[in-house]
Each structure stands twice: as structure tokens, then as C-alpha cells.
Amino acid sequence: MAAKDELGRRGEDLAVEYLTQRGLVVLSRNWRCRDGELDVVATDQERLVVCEVKTRSGTRYGEPAEAVDGRKAARIRRVTQAWLAAHQVRWCEIRFDVLAVLAEPGRPVTVQHYEAAF
Amino acid sequence: MGLARAWSVALHGVEGHVIEIEADVGGGLPGVHLVGLPDAALYESKDRVRAAVVNSGRNWPNERIVLALSPATLRKAGSGFDLALACAILGTSGVVAQGALDGTVLLGELALDGRLRPVRGVLPCLLAARTAGMRRVVVPEAGLEEAALVEGLDVYGATSLTDVLSWLHGDRALRRPGPVTDAGGDEPPDMADVLGQDDARQACEIAAAGGHHLLLIGPPGTGKTMLAQRFVGLLPALQPDEALALAAVRSVAGRLPATGALSRVPPFVAPHHSSSMAALVGGGSGIARPGAVSLAHRGVLFIDEAPEMGARMLDALRTPLEEGEVRLARAEGTVRYPARFQLVLAANPCPCAPAHDRDCVCPSLVRRRYLGRLSGPLLDRVDLRARLYPVTAFTVDAGDTESTATVRARVLSARAAAGRRWAGLGWRTNAEVPGPVLRTRFALPGAAVRPLDAGLRAGELTARGADRALRVAWTLSDLAGLDRPDQELVETALFFRDRRAA
């Protein structure tokens, strides 16, 4: 496993831990289809919460959350449709969140949660 | 996270509008959204501002930032908003107190390392800020002297974003402008340098005394250009408000010198005859920039070799000549620039232009066409036409030729007489007085205006021409120290006007 994938994996673990602490129930992790992947799909009992987890080891190339642009948002929306179809969920409220995990070496890891980011 | 406000000024020609910049931080993915009709240069400022803030050692809010420029319907152009944008963003996180930003106009472009770069149009921006009731203004240090010309505002000069932030915090002082120095400017060359040409000299004197337009015709090398350059020296120094209006135009054109910004020497602008229309009357895409006619506001616009300029260009001068301003319509609105200049045209009598006219080899048709390029309507607005003659003796007799100082003294006393007469009515020179006033309130006795009636009846004069001759006659009487022109002076005015010089 490449170092960056490992970092991403670690970030997703942290993100799931964070969400679970907040009382969300994780339904899927790394759900893949032809169009792409959903990092975490969870629910807060009222609505579906689709989370994109972005992990970085430093801000040299910008903040983690900045990497989530319009193109990425559109792809996540598309994949969510596929997820809903695959799980035969007919209609529900959906919220798209971004979890920015910053894991700088030698510093405590921070998780920043952007609720309803797009 | 928060909301903060800062103020800056948007320029529309020489008119400024105070712009309120609101920054709202929070509620979304990191990113900057700039709203309120910014142009390309302003839209790019979000990247400049971010780099400048980070490189000044401040924290950039890691959230969604909405920057709103109000009034939102007014188009905003240029890079002068950078400083205000940066302070508004930092105001949301409490780095800058809102109380310090209130009533303060911030102007300047930011370099990526946080230095403050100069912007054009500081002077008109400050005039707008004062009108809008702002108290303090921060400008880039290079514009400090220019900013000092506006009274009634506390003006500060800064070199970097860090300077401004610590000043807003109250930690340090910013540079204040020194006293306004009257830039003497270059002394124009002396009239005594010109050999002979008594007629043309007198025409210059009359033109300077009354603010009339002038056409000089003569063979090459007789001193047309020399006289025109010396003509500015005869004019009185600019009034403070005139100097300020001129400085505002220069500021918008980016032509204001860094030191001694407020020059009271009347401007002398001599565009080459190959100049473009945009260079002459102003132009450019988006918002039109001022041209030569506006840079010559309250001074002299000298067009050498006028027939070479082309009728289209010369005729474009007609409206500013009449109205004292130019209005330029572009996609993003109409701008007005002041353009009350004195026109001095110089021309050769014909394309071959030998020293003595009798040696001319041009066919008569060519001769007629050459001066025919100066259109009738344009020439109708030129009050004085003077012919220059070939210099016949190359002897310099200093005692014989009058110096600028001597002539200027006469011009100034004539101008003072005219000024006293029109004082209650709002005009300064005879050339500004509307025709109807000259014909009614200041009507001359029938005998005095008989030459005008004769000219009108014979079709040698237009109604406007008659008014203009009347104005020249008033100037002649001011120069002669009379209280009103008599028939002889009216005839002299007509002589300078309709002699077959052109």
C-alpha cells in the first residue's frame, strides 16, 4: 500500500471514529461503483449523510478541504445516486459533508467538519 | 465566524464612489467568493490578497469567505481595493477591530509579499471620500503627496499590509504628508526669443488676455511653434480649484508626478498630428481614459501642422471647445472629463511653404485644399488668426522685443479688469461669457456694433462669429484700459478674425 493511500486510510478511520462519536451510524465505507467512490455513507436517523474525507499531511499544497472543488462535488452527487439505486432507497433527505483531516507529522491530528458543505 | 466592513473608492472617470466592502466568513468549504460586479483585475485580487495576508504572517480563515462590494450594481475596476479587502477579511477574525475600520478609506494594491503598491487616481478617490463624509484615508506611500492636496481628511501613507494592520491596532503611527508644496514647474521660455512677428505677438497677447482660441499661419521657421510654447508663460497661474481639477485628470491618466503634484503652471499639451482619436479626446475600452484635451484643461492645447491632422480629428475638438468638457460613452457607462482649454493651431499656408509666399509652386487647388482641411465650423470657433512673416533681418535687438514679463503684466491687468466685470456672474474670462449676455446686459451702442451688422448682412460673419468678435473687442478694451469697446476696437477684432489669413 502506497504511503498516500495509507494516510488516506488512516484519515478515514479517524473520520469514522469522529462521526460515530457524534452519534451517526455508518452505513457504508469506501463504497465503489463505475463512477467513483464514496468515502463514508452514514445516517443521523433523519437523513443520509454522505461524507467526503480528505486527508493531508501538511498545508504546503493548500488546506485539505480546498481540494474538494465543484468537479469533485458533482462526482460525489453522481455516485450517491448510484448508491441510492443499489440500496433501493426510494427517497430520503441527503446531506453532503466534508471532513478535512490534517495529520501533520509531530502534531496532533485535527479533524474539521464542514456540515452541508455542498 | 463573523462579519466585517471596510471602505474603498471606485473610480468612474474622475468621479469616485465610496464602496462598502463586506466580508462574511463561515458556513462552507474554504474558498473566496467575490460579488458586486468586479472586473478582471479586481477578480484576481482574491489570490493577491490571500498571498499577501499569509506572507504578512497572518492567518487566512479556513472557511468560505464571501466578499460583497456595495453598491452591487456599480461596476468596479482596478486593483485599488486589495488593501480594503484584506482588512475586511482580517476584521472578521478580530485581527482588526471594526471600530478602527469605520470611517476609514483604504486604497492600494497588494504585492504577494504584503507590500503596498501605488494605484492611479488617488486624488479623485479622496475627493469622493471627503464628499461621502469619511474621516481617514490610507494610501500607498507613493501617493501620499498627491493625497495631501485634499483638505479635510486625515491622510496616512503606508508601505505594507503589516504597517496598516499595526496602525489599525494602534501600535504604530503611519507617515503623514508634509505641507503641500507648490511645484513651480519648468518656467516656459521667454517671448523675447522670438524675432519680429509683431502681429502674431499681439494676437498672442489678446488671446492670453481674453482666453480666446488662436490660429497662427506662416511659412516654416518663422516662429509659430516658438510663439505657441511661449504662450503659456503669458497665462496667469491656475486658481486652486482649477489646479485640483487638472491634478485629478492627471491622476486618472497616471501622469501626476510623484513630487510637487499640485502644479499651478497652466498645462501645455502638444499632441503630434498623427495622434489617434483616443489620445486626443480620450478613450479606451471599458471606462474611457482622459485624452490630450482634458490634460490641457485650463491650459493650452497646441496643434502644430494642423492641416496634417485630418478633418475628423480636428472636428472632434469642436464639442469640447464649445462645452468645456468631453463626454465619452463606452459599454460601461458615460464618463465626463473637464476640457476647458485654449486651442492654438499652427499651419503652413500651403504644402510647399516657401519663405516668401510669391515663390509658392502649389497649384491653386492644392493650396485651397490644404487649408480647407481646417473645416469652417472649427475655424468659426477660432477667434484670432494671425499671419507670420518671413524673418528679414537676423539682428537680435533685445531692447526691441518685449519679454514675457512685460506682456504678462498687461495680460494680467486686462484679465483682472475682465474678472471684476464678470465677478458677480461666475465667469473669469471674456471667452466664457455667453453671447446673449453680451448682446443684452452688456450691449454696446449701435454705432460700435455697426461693423458687425455689416458683416452679418454681407454673409461674412456667422451669428456665432459676431458674438466671438464681440468678445475679442471686450478683451481689446480691457487691454487698452477702456471701460467698453468702441467702434474702432470692434473693427480691430474683426480684422483679427476675418482677415484672409485662412
Check if B220 contacts A (Cβ < 8 Å): no
On the question of pLDDT at B502 being above 50, the answer is no
Confidence (pLDDT) at B260: 61
Mean pLDDT of B245-265: 79
Lowest mean pLDDT among A75-89, B281-295, B463-477: B281-295
Within 8 A of A54 by CB-CB distance, chain B residues are none
Check if A43 contacts B (Cβ < 8 Å): no
| A88 CA: distance to closest CA in chain B (Å) | 30
pLDDT tens by residue, B298-314: 999 999 989 888 888 88
In chain A, how many domains are there? 1
Q: Which residue of B has its CA nearest to A64?
A: B30
Check if A66 contacts B (Cβ < 8 Å): yes
The grid coordinates listed for B69 are 462590494
Domain containing residue A110? 3-114
Confidence (pLDDT) at B395: 59
Instruction: Give the pLDDT band of residue B399 (cuts 50, 70, 90).
Output: low
Q: Cα dihedral angle (B365, B366, B371, B372), rounded to 10 degrees?
A: 50
How many residues are present in chain B? 502
Chain B, 34-63: which have a CB under 8 Å from a chain A CB?
62
pLDDT tens by residue, B51-86: 999 999 998 888 889 999 999 888 888 889 999 999
Confidence (pLDDT) at A1: 59
Mean pLDDT of B87-93: 93
| B158 CA: distance to closest CA in chain A (Å) | 30
Confidence (pLDDT) at B498: 66
Within 8 A of A118 by CB-CB distance, chain B residues are 28-29
Decide if B62 and A63 are in contact by the 8 Å CB cutoff.
yes
| B62 CA: distance to closest CA in chain A (Å) | 8
Burial class (CB within 10 angstroms; exposed 0-12, middle 13-18, buried 19+) of B225: middle
Residue B392: CB atoms within 10 A of its CB come to 10
Mean pLDDT of B14-23: 92
Q: Which CATH class is domain B2-169?
A: alpha beta
Decide if A63 and B28 are in contact by the 8 Å CB cutoff.
no
On the question of pLDDT at B287 being above 80, the answer is no
φ, ψ for residue B285, nearest 5 deg: -85, 165
Decide if A114 and B31 are in contact by the 8 Å CB cutoff.
no
Confidence (pLDDT) at B225: 87
Name the DSSP letter for residue A34: T
Mean pLDDT of A92-100: 91
Mean pLDDT of B483-499: 85
Check if A115 contacts B (Cβ < 8 Å): no
SS3 category, A98: strand
Within 8 A of A68 by CB-CB distance, chain B residues are 29
Rounded CA separation B142/B122 (Å): 10
Mean pLDDT of A59-64: 78
Confidence (pLDDT) at B295: 92
Is the previous residue joined to B71 through a cis bond, with omega within 30 degrees of 0? yes
pLDDT tens by residue, B317-338: 988 988 888 998 887 778 889 9
Query: Of A47-61, B103-117, B195-209, B256-270, which has the strongest mean pLDDT?
Result: B103-117
Mean pLDDT of B392-414: 78
CATH no. for residue A86?
Answer: 3.40.1350.10
Confidence (pLDDT) at A31: 92
pLDDT tens by residue, B363-387: 989 888 888 888 888 888 888 988 8
φ, ψ for residue A91, nearest 5 deg: -150, 135
Within 8 A of B54 by CB-CB distance, chain A residues are none
Name the DSSP letter for residue B60: P
Q: What is the DSSP string of B153-208?
A: SEEEEESBHHHHHHHHHTSS--BPP-PPP-B--PPPPPGGGS-S-HHHHHHHHHHH
Fold agreement (B2-169, B191-394) = no
Within 8 A of A65 by CB-CB distance, chain B residues are 29-30, 62
Q: Which residue of A has its CA nearest to B62?
A: A63
Confidence (pLDDT) at B397: 58
Confidence (pLDDT) at B98: 92
Check if B481 contacts A (Cβ < 8 Å): no
Find all residues with CB under 8 Å of B48, minimum gap 6, and list them: B79, B82, B109, B110, B111, B112
Mean pLDDT of B173-184: 76
> CB–CB of A100/A64 below 8 Å?
yes
Within 8 A of B65 by CB-CB distance, chain A residues are none
Name the DSSP letter for residue B23: E
Confidence (pLDDT) at B357: 79
Decide if B30 and A117 are in contact by the 8 Å CB cutoff.
no
Q: What is the DSSP string of B436-480?
A: HHHHTTTPPPTTTTHHHHHHHHHTSS-HHHHHHHHHHHHHHHHHH
Amino acid at B330: R
Name the DSSP letter for residue A61: T
Within 8 A of A66 by CB-CB distance, chain B residues are 29-31
The grid coordinates listed for B424 are 458677480
Confidence (pLDDT) at B10: 92
Mean pLDDT of B19-35: 89
Within 8 A of A56 by CB-CB distance, chain B residues are none
Domain ranges of chain B: 2-169, 191-394
Confidence (pLDDT) at B259: 65
On the question of pLDDT at B358 being above 50, the answer is yes
Q: Which architecture, in CATH terms, is B191-394?
A: 3-Layer(aba) Sandwich (3.40)
Check if A111 contacts B (Cβ < 8 Å): no
| A114 CA: distance to closest CA in chain B (Å) | 6
Check if A63 contacts B (Cβ < 8 Å): yes
On the question of pLDDT at B393 being above 70, the answer is no
Confidence (pLDDT) at B297: 92
Confidence (pLDDT) at B501: 44
On average, the pLDDT of chain A sits at: 88
Q: pLDDT higher for B166 or B498?
A: B166
